[in-house]
Amino acid sequence: MTKRKTEKIRFFKKSMEKSQKGLYNMIIEVGELDHRAINEALRGTDREVTLSGCMGQRFICAGMSSGNVEVCGIPGNALGAYLNGAHITVRGNAQDAVGDTMNAGTIVIHGNVGDAVGYAMRGGRIFVKGDAGYRAGIHMKAYREKIPVLVIGGKTGSFLGEYQAGGVIVVLGLSKDTRRIVGNFPCTGMHGGKMILRSDCRDLVFPNQVTARPATPEDLAEIQGYVAEYCALFKETEADVLRSPFTVITPDSKNPYKRLYVAN
């Protein structure tokens, strides 16, 4: 470890001591620190923490169970992986695999995200102001009272909800560009959960194993809380967002590709 990194870590430890005495909340100048040093600093305090100058460090907040962390800059892959109850806010964009296998907590992205946001997500909520890349919500699942929620305010790339097994995916399509709300092959292998798209989806092709239908008032009532939270976070008008056709997609079978496999 370089002398500069060592000095920064010592500074953070002194900052944590003052923070725990109630003098101020922590501000960490991330700089050249790797994720190990950052997460060590986060685990050492129960105060709100701001990570300033983040430049692609991976695995930030991995496995955290409590606390509030604000990230200024661009976090790298697997932000909030295995998150178990903490609250993360990113004041900008984030890279791939945000919320990988998260179990509880909240992640708020004030920008765009890369591929595989919410990968294998099994609880908690993710709110993305802008667009998402490929395979958003892949392998999402739910168990008993744990129902993960992924809300994307913009548009997404191909393979949205691939192999979705549970939870709720909402895509609002608020981006100003002329792309379709979702890329190619949405819901491929979907066998659980629900997807709600703010579109009539006439320009989309869904697999035969799912059903796409116009949303009913009951469907909209189900997602109204998620939309309201999104609008409060990102200063949108709830009535304007809901004043649009929505499409609900659900699977027709729990094992849509059973015929492709040999029986044991």
Residues 189-207: tens digit of each pLDDT = 999 999 999 999 999 999 9
Output the CATH code of domain 112-255: 2.160.20.60
- How would you class 171 by CB atoms within 10 Å of its CB: exposed for 0-12, middle for 13-18, buried for 19 or more? buried
CB 109 within 8 A of CB 126: yes
Model confidence at 259: pLDDT above 80: no
Q: Which has more pLDDT, 248 or 33?
A: 248
- Please say if the pLDDT value at position 69 is more than 90: yes
Cβ-based neighbours of 48, under 8 Å, separated by 6 or more:
25, 26, 67, 68, 69, 70
pTM (2 decimals)?
A: 0.88
Going by DSSP bridges, is the β-strand pair 192-197/247-251 parallel, antiparallel, or unpaired? antiparallel
Rounded to 10°, the helix 35-43/3-20 angle is 20
Q: pLDDT tens, 81-109?
A: 999 999 999 999 999 999 999 999 999 99
Over residues 131-158, the mean pLDDT reads: 96
State the Cα–Cα distance between residues 11 and 19, nearest whole angstrom: 12
Instruction: Evaluate whether 194 touches 223 at the Cβ level (below 8 Å).
Output: no
Q: Where are the domains of the chain?
A: 112-255
The pLDDT, as a whole number, for residue 26 is 84
Task: Give the number of other Cβ atoms within 10 Å of residue 149's Cβ.
Answer: 22
